[in-house]
Amino acid sequence: MPTLYHHPMSAASRFVRLILAEYGFQTELAEEQPWENRRDFLALNPAGTLPVYVDDSMRALCGASIISEYLDETHGVLKRDRRLLAEDPFQRAEIRRLTEWFLQKMEQDVTRPLVRERIFKLQMTSDQGGGPPDSKILRNSRANIRQHMKYLSWLAGSRTYLAGDRLSYADLAAAACLSVLDYMGEINWTEAPQAKDWYQRLKSRPSFRPLLAERVRGVTPVSHYADLDF
Amino acid sequence: MPTLYHHPMSAASRFVRLILAEYGFQTELAEEQPWENRRDFLALNPAGTLPVYVDDSMRALCGASIISEYLDETHGVLKRDRRLLAEDPFQRAEIRRLTEWFLQKMEQDVTRPLVRERIFKLQMTSDQGGGPPDSKILRNSRANIRQHMKYLSWLAGSRTYLAGDRLSYADLAAAACLSVLDYMGEINWTEAPQAKDWYQRLKSRPSFRPLLAERVRGVTPVSHYADLDF
């Protein structure tokens, strides 16, 4: 069975897990602490990033965008109206643009620093950079959330799904990212009712269930985290 | 005619210009100063990043990976043995992994900070963050170059082209990145003879010529920059 190296608080890992679940794939999950720079893990992915997908022939695919393109080419293409990337090249470009937005831009501006400061640093040793969160980083990252939520609300308000009429990688990427931030109670949903409606729909999909049941050491999720009707 | 918004010192822009030249595309080049956050440019690409490709129907494609996938789907697929992405999904994944390595990981560790400190800040106003380079950032970025050059040398020494037997996006991405660093004299070629052999081959391609003729305000390129036999 293929193995997915992941971390529960990695938005990119959650994105790939959602794709695999939507396509009905069985994979073994192996939790990786990316700050440990484990030698065997670096041999799989010299960049040291998550997720990494290792297929039955022990070939490694590194990173969310590479795994998602591979899954589209080898499986999505057969899924007809359940395919998570479009047929049309320009529509594919729009889905990829939004997927990048949430897994790279929002990741850099908001998700990565907040997860690192609030969750990873609790588990890191002081040699690894562990310790109390840096309040300046928390403040800056939180200030960036509002802009991203405004954009998400605009997308959710003007389209059925984020990239158009059908569920796509763009929705799974955004929902993966939002679910990590929501776990930590960082989202003010009352300010973003259209984004909330869209997220409620995503969160109710069977593919989401395993994510909502997961807990990380040291940080309890916000009370509405697993609530489908929050 | 399509337009490519670019900056001469943006590795991602150079990468797309190389693809377009390899495929024999004519495009109009529009130079964009990304730190200006020009309103009309942000309307094309809300993320504010380069390059942006605007086609004849005025549809915008934002970012190197999205443009390169689109060009593969609409043109590369017809190029047979001159195609810059492979046919096989796993080989495509390897090309994408290396492309990301140079345009994202090396960009973040080395290229972006060095270009910002040494070139962009000369042209920015003080409101925009302009001023003298930060010596700590220069030192850190330069310390990261060695590791990346080691990896590039290993790839160049063990394969004809970086991702295998044929020229691919991986070579164009790495060469785009290296050419920006070489312009600034940041590469110590004597330490990396295998990388140098590979770069010499890339640099001699006709697609490279326009890049080698370009100059940016305030910074003269290192003497061997345009020399094919350096």
Please check whether residue A105 touches B, CB under 8 A: yes
pLDDT higher than 90, residue B229: no
Looking at chain B, which residue has its C-alpha nearest residue A93?
B66
Out of B59, B96, B101, closest to residue A69 by CB:
B96
Answer whether A206 touches B (CB < 8 Å). no
Average pLDDT over residues B200-205: 97
For A43-68, what is each residue's pLDDT tens digit?
Answer: 999 999 999 999 999 999 999 999 99
CB-based contact A66 B96, cutoff 8 Å: yes
What is the pLDDT, as a whole number, of residue A230?
Answer: 83
| Out of B46, B73, B97, closest to residue A92 by CB | B73
Question: Quick check: A66 and B151 CB within 8 A?
Answer: no
Mean pLDDT of B105-120: 97
- pLDDT of B155-191, one tens digit each? 999 999 999 999 999 999 999 999 999 999 999 999 9
Interchain CB distance below 8 Å, A89 and B66: no
Which residues are CB-contacts of B71 (< 8 A; sequence separation ≥ 6)? B19, B20, B23
Chain B residue numbers touching A90 (CB-CB < 8 A): 59, 61, 70
d(CA A80, CA A23): 12
CB contact under 8 Å between A69 and B93, yes or no, is yes
pLDDT along chain A (230 residues), means of 10: 97 98 95 95 94 95 97 92 95 97 96 97 94 96 96 95 97 98 96 96 96 92 90
CATH 1.20.1050.10 residue spans of chain B: 89-205
Measured between CA atoms, the residue of chain A closest to residue B94 is: A61
Tell me: the pLDDT tens digits for B26-75? 999 999 999 999 999 999 999 999 999 999 999 999 999 999 999 999 99
CATH class of segment(s) A3-82:
alpha beta
Residue (of B101, B100, B84) closest to B152 by Cα position: B101
Q: Where in chain A is the domain with CATH 3.40.30.10?
A: 3-82
DSSP string, A150-181: HHHHHHHHHSSBTTBSS--HHHHHHHHHHHHH
A89-205: CATH, from 1.20.1050.10, 1.10.10.1100, 3.30.930.10, 3.40.50.720: 1.20.1050.10
Mean per-residue pLDDT, B106-120: 97
Closest Cβ opposite residue B63 in set A62, A74, A100: A100
pLDDT confidence of residue B97: 96
ipTM topping 0.90: yes
Report d(CA B165, CA A168) in Å as an integer. 34
Question: What secondary structure does DSSP assign to chain B, as a single string?
Answer: --EEEE-TT-HHHHHHHHHHHHTT---EEEE--GGG--HHHHHH-TT--S-EEE-TT--EEESHHHHHHHHHHHTGGG-GGG-SS-SSHHHHHHHHHHHHIIIIIHIIIIIHHHHIIIIIHHHS-TTTT-SS--HHHHHHHHHHHHHHHHHHHHHHHHSSBTTBSS--HHHHHHHHHHHHHHHTT---GGG-HHHHHHHHHHHTSGGGHHHHH--BTTBPPPTTTT-TT-
What mean pLDDT, rounded, does chain B reach? Answer: 95
pLDDT recorded at residue B217? 86
Interfacial A residues in 142-201 facing B (CB < 8 Å): 151
